[in-house]
Structures are given as structure tokens and as C-alpha cells.
Amino acid sequence: MTLISIGRLSDETGTKIPTIRYYESIGLLPEPPRTASNRRLYDPHAVARLRFIRHARDLGFEIEAIRDFLGLMDHPGGPCHHAHGLVRQHLEAIDAKIAQLQAMRHAIERVSPNCPYNRVEQCPAIEVLSDHALCPDGCP
């Protein structure tokens, strides 16, 4: 089994060294063994675990959900219904965020008409953004 340094772990996973140390400090990555000169050494399991964490973060999962996933992975013979529940919760949160972003987009489209003026003092977009009551059709 080949052990690698934190720098190589960073390179192999695309994760910055301070982030790796943070994940160790909050228990997502186990503390690695150290050399006599106190250098961290990581095994292939740590590489795979960090890749999982990184991918889950890239997909927007919160730290606590990732902690739950890792706990499930530490018991591979257990049922996976909890993992499916975490994924479903995340999908619902994504759908809610998409709906919120679409509502924001629609509201911004309504407050940014084609401006026939040249001067900021006559800008309807700035006027509407300055006073919520002027928002057409009741912006969110």
C-alpha cells in the first residue's frame, strides 16, 4: 500500500490543503498517520473518501449530509434507504432553489424595461429597485 503526502492528495483530488485539514478537523477524514517528522501520510482509502466528499460538495450536498453518507459507507452491509432519503431531500431543495431563482428572474425581467432614457436620474430600473412598492405585479 502506497502512502502519499498531503500535497499529493491535494493534487490527486483537486482539493486545497487547508480544506483537507478542515475535513480532518471536523471528522470527515480520519486523522492520518504521521512520519517521524510529523508529515501526514494518506492511504488509498483516504483518497477515495476525499474524492467522494469533493464530488458530493460539488453536487451541493451539505456537510452533515456528507457525514451521513460517509457513516453509511462505513457500514456497507446496511440498508441504503437512508441514502436515498438524503438524495430525495437534496433534490427537493434543488427544486425549491430553482423555483426561487425562476421567480427572481421573472421579477428582474419586469423591473428592467427597455430604457428610453440616457441618464440614471430617469432610469426606471433604479427607481423600481429603490422602492419595493413600485415593483410591477408585486415582486417577491
The DSSP line for the chain is ---B-HHHHHHHHT--HHHHHHHHHTTSSPPPPB-TT--B-B-HHHHHHHHHHHHHHHTT--HHHHHHHHHHHTSTTS--HHHHHHHHHHHHHHHHHHHHHHHHHHHHHHH-PPP--SSGGG-HHHHHHH-GGGSTT---
3-state class (DSSP) for residue 78: coil
The whole domain housing 5 covers 1-78
- Pair 111, 135 in one domain: yes
d(CA 99, CA 2): 47
Which amino acid would we find at residue 67?
A: R
Report yes or no: 35 and 70 within 8 Å, Cβ to Cβ.
no
What average pLDDT is seen over the chain?
A: 88
Count of domains for the chain: 2
pLDDT of residue 127: 74
CA–CA–CA angle 91, 94, 100 (5° rounding) = 145
- Pair 41, 11 in one domain: yes
pLDDT of residue 22: 97
- Pair 49, 94 in one domain: no
CATH number at residue 71: 1.10.1660.10
- Pair 101, 74 in one domain: no
pLDDT digits (tens, 9 = 90+) for 43-56: 999 999 999 999 99
Contacts of 68 (CB under 8 A, 6+ apart): 82, 86
- Pair 68, 108 in one domain: no
**Using 50, 70 and 90 to split pLDDT, how confident is the model at 117?**
low
The more confident residue out of 5 and 125 is: 5
